[in-house]
Amino acid sequence: MTLNDEIFARLGDPGLEQIAGLLGTDTAQARTAVEAVVGTIVGGMAHNTGDSQGAQALRTALDDHVDRDPFSADPSDLEQEGQGILGHVLGRQGTEQAADGISQFAGLNSATVLKLLAALAPIVMSILANRASRQQMDAGAVADDLNKEQSATQGGMNDVLGGLLGSIFGGQGAGGAGGLGDVLGGLLGGAPPYQSQEPSQETPVDRPAPQRRPPRAADPENTNPDW
């Protein structure tokens, strides 16, 4: 079962209908938006685990998300946590690029997509954390699992996500009460707009030779694998 499958299983049809209402669209478009957001987050994580340092940083961070239930989290807390995760996975500029790309693909307002990204990021982390704990994955196994998640993306969605992630990384210098639908309702119904975090002023650190992908560009305004 993929991460998307697990999320949709938790939502159920009522939850997806609630999200569609919050997004002002139908359930098919809402499903597409969720799939695109999850695919982008997973793709960013997979990229960040392309070297041993990034993979170990993510594996260590997952331990803090085991047995947490973001589906019943307070919306404001979830948004804050999600923004932090996105800062590590995509970076400030990458998150904004992702929101713009997904908004064009899914036909949604980019500000709404930013909130959707922030809402789903902790959920992706929680599901991945519980999977890693349950299967006793080490850092390499988590990286491999993320690669499998990427490979599970099919057809046009795969093309869209591939192009979006390429621009970010390659072109840089069950519904009901307490469910995700209610959480998104809090986020989309009046939470303050996404505020970009200031880029880190720390000097980039040389990274070990990559084991799976080419090394990332050392850009303090983009991804930060040091969780």
Q: What percent of the chain has pLDDT over 70?
A: 72
Ranges 50-54, 163-167, 196-200, most confident: 50-54
Tokens linked to 39: 């695919």
Asked if pLDDT for residue 13 goes beyond 50, the answer is yes
Write the pLDDT tens digit of every residue in 167-218.
788 754 333 334 455 555 554 444 333 333 333 334 333 434 434 444 444 3
Query: Taking phi first (over 0 means left), then psi (-120 to 50 degrees means alpha), and beta for anything else, what does residue 177 get?
Result: beta
Look at residue 184 in the predicted model and tell me its pLDDT.
52
- Report the chain's mean pLDDT, rounded to a whole number: 77
User: What's the average model confidence in pLDDT over 41-61?
Assistant: 93
Confidence of residue 11 (pLDDT cuts 50, 70, 90): confident
With tokens 């947490």, the residue in question is 68
Asked if pLDDT for residue 53 goes beyond 70, the answer is yes
Q: What is the largest CA-CA distance in the chain?
A: 48
> CB-based contacts of 32: which residues, under 8 Å, 6+ apart?
105, 106, 157
Separation of CA 180 from chain center: 15
Rounded to 5 degrees, what are φ and ψ at 200?
Answer: -65, 140
- What letter would DSSP give residue 206? P
Look at residue 129 in the predicted model and tell me its pLDDT.
96
- What letter would DSSP give residue 170? I
Q: What percent of the chain has pLDDT over 90?
A: 40
From 32, 45, 149, 145, select the one nearest 94 (Cα to Cα). 45
Asked if pLDDT for residue 68 goes beyond 70, the answer is yes
**Is-contact 220 200, C-beta < 8 A?**
yes
Measure the CA–CA gap between 153 and 2, rounded to whole angstroms: 10
Start-end of H helices in the chain: 3-23, 27-48, 52-62, 75-89, 91-106, 110-134, 139-151, 155-165, 180-188
Asked if pLDDT for residue 142 goes beyond 70, the answer is yes
Residue type, 145: D
* Interhelix angle 91-106/27-48, nearest 10 degrees: 150
Measure the CA–CA gap between 123 and 125, rounded to whole angstroms: 5
Look at residue 74 in the predicted model and tell me its pLDDT.
78
- What letter would DSSP give residue 166? I
Write the pLDDT tens digit of every residue in 128-137.
999 999 999 9
